[in-house]
């Protein structure tokens, strides 16, 4: 018989081994899935994990990695702070959309003014938009004790509706011949509001810079600052946190607000950079994938930076597999979902060990 036994101290080995084992298990189970779809598993796995880095088109795809990893990392960093404190913001996708709409909206309102101040103001507006959207579940939770998981998730669909309205209505390009979508933020059409690639071919734009900076800042916050200590304490032992002097309501507002602001920033950088404009299908699920990234990175900022790149790999490589090998994109999403599944499953080993007991013997 197999039996789970609680470890006296969480295992450091499994803490770090878990993501690796989870990735390997995902490759195996994903390989099975691809085999059932009639593809050669080895080819698919190679296309996803190897080709973007070292394949024929790696010169282009490597840049794409950073483009995808930036928003994932930025959002996941914010989410991880809340997750550490036991506050579950599942609606980063909605905050990402609202950040993009607010950031883009401020820029578009000033079109065609050219000023170096425009972009910073847009950054601020993007952060505020995401923050405000996250404040809705936060305040409902602190005032009426609603469940922030449900409220934040539901608000994603509200945000998507607003996005559709924005791209077909209030933010639509007046010179776009009636097509949905806003004016373009690309360098030539609106330089003051664009978020260009900073080093040609690197894929690095201001969003990536922010993501890496936030990773470092969050690391310092969690390791060295009393606020980071309070966040961890509230998540691990809520009563001890109150005894320490943490006000739970304040922490909810802070963590939801922070994760909302970072998601909003990610949306704003995306709309002005890689996406280039507000469109109906502007959001591609970064807000949800970031949840996986946060856990894959062990809710540790440095781990999240690493996990962001691995997840970006499955995005870029997944697209490759979809176009080159004709794999349905849903299969790639299942593949990404498996990663979280195995991660949480293997994670049990951090706090528990498996004991085998023979029948009749204790």
Partner 1 sequence: MTRETLLKIDGISKSYPGVKANEDVSFSIGVGEVHALLGENGAGKSTLVKMIYGLVKPDEGTLTFRGKPFAPSEPSEARAAGVAMVFQHFSLFEALNVAENVALGMENPPPMRELAARIRAVSEEYGLPLDPARMVGDLSAGERQRVEIIRCLLQDPKLLIMDEPTSVLTPQEVEILFKTLRQLSSEGTAILYISHKLEEIRTLCDGATILRRGKVVGSCVPRETTAREMAELMVGATLTPPERRAGAKGEVVLGVTDLSAASPIPFGTTLKGISFTVARGEVLGIAGVAGNGQDELLLALSGELRVASDKIRINGRAAGDLGPGERRRAGLVAAPEDRYGHAAAPDMSLVENALLTGAIRRNLTHRGFIDWAATRGFAEEVIQTYDVRTPGSHVAARALSGGNLQKFLIGRELDQSPEVIVINQPTWGVDAAAAAAIRQAILNRAAEGAGVVVISQDLDELLEIADMFAVLNEGRLTKPRPVEGLTIDQIGLMMGGAHGMEVAHHVEA
3 binds partner 1 (CB under 8 A): no
What is the nearest approach in angstroms of partner 1 to the Cβ of residue 220? Answer: 9
User: Contacting partner 1 (CB under 8 A), which of 242, 249, 281, 357?
Assistant: 242
The 8-class DSSP code of residue 277 comes to S
- What is the contact mask toward partner 1 in residues 193 to 232, using x (rule: CB under 8 A)? -------------------------------xxxx-x--x
Tokens of 63: 């840049």
What is the nearest approach in angstroms of partner 1 to the Cβ of residue 85? Answer: 13
Contacts of 343 (CB under 8 A, 6+ apart): 18, 19, 22, 292, 295, 296
- What is the contact mask toward partner 1 in residues 310 to 329, using x (rule: CB under 8 A)? --------------------
The residue assigned the tokens 């809705």 is 136
Cβ(18)–Cβ(25) under 8 Å? no
The residue assigned the tokens 């962001």 is 308
Tokens of 209: 């810079």
233 binds partner 1 (CB under 8 A): yes
Contacts of 39 (CB under 8 A, 6+ apart): 325, 327
237 binds partner 1 (CB under 8 A): yes
244 binds partner 1 (CB under 8 A): yes
Site for partner 1 in 250-279 (CB under 8 A): none
Q: Where are the alpha helices (DSSP H) in 85-147?
A: 92-110, 118-144
Cβ distance to partner 1 smaller for residue 46 or 232: 232
Distance CA 246, CA 166 (A): 40
Cβ distance to partner 1 smaller for residue 224 or 355: 224
How far out from the chain centre does Cα 144 lie? 28
80 to 10, 238, 301: CA distances (angstroms):
19, 17, 8
Cβ distance to partner 1 smaller for residue 165 or 247: 247
Contact region for partner 1 (CB under 8 A) — 65-73, 146-154, 236-244, 294-302?
236-244
User: Contacting partner 1 (CB under 8 A), which of 115, 147, 161, 236?
Assistant: 236
Where along the sequence are the contacts to partner 1 (CB under 8 A)?
8-10, 224-227, 229, 232-233, 236-237, 239-245, 247
């Amino acid at each position: 018989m197999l039996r789970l036994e609680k470890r006296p101290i969480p295992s450091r080995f499994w803490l770090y081994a878990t993501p690796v084992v989870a990735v390997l298990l995902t490759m195996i189970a994903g390989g099975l899935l691809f085999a059932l779809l009639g593809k050669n598993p080895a080819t698919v796995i190679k296309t996803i994990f190897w080709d973007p880095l070292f394949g024929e088109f790696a010169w282009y795809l490597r840049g794409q990695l950073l483009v995808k990893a930036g928003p994932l990392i930025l959002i996941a960093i914010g989410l991880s702070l809340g997750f550490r404190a036991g506050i579950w913001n599942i609606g980063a996708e909605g905050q990402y959309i609202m950040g993009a709409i607010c950031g883009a909206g401020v820029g578009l309102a000033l079109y065609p003014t050219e000023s170096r101040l425009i972009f910073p103001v847009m950054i601020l507006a993007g952060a505020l938009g995401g923050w405000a959207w996250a404040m809705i579940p936060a305040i409902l939770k602190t005032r009426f004790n609603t469940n922030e998981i449900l409220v934040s998730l539901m608000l994603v669909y509200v945000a998507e509706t607003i996005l559709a309205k924005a791209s077909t209505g209030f933010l639509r390009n007046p010179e776009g011949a009636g097509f949905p979508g806003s004016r373009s933020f690309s360098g030539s059409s609106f330089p003051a509001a664009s978020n260009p690639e900073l080093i040609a071919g690197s894929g690095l734009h201001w969003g990536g810079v922010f993501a890496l900076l936030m990773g470092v800042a969050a690391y310092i916050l969690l390791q060295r600052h009393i606020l980071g200590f309070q966040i961890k304490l509230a998540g691990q032992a809520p009563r001890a946190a109150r005894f320490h002097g943490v006000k739970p309501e304040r922490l909810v507002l802070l963590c939801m607000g922070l994760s909302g602001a970072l998601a909003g920033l990610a949306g704003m950088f995306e709309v002005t950079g890689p996406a280039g404009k507000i469109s109906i299908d502007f959001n591609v699920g970064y807000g949800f994938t970031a949840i996986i990234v946060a856990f894959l990175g062990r809710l540790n900022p440095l781990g999240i930076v690493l996990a962001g790149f691995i997840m970006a790999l499955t995005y870029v490589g997944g697209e490759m597999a979809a176009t080159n090998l004709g794999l349905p994109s849903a299969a790639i999403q299942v593949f990404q979902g498996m990663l979280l599944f195995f991660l949480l499953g293997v994670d049990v080993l951090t706090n528990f060990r498996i004991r085998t007991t023979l029948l009749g013997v204790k």
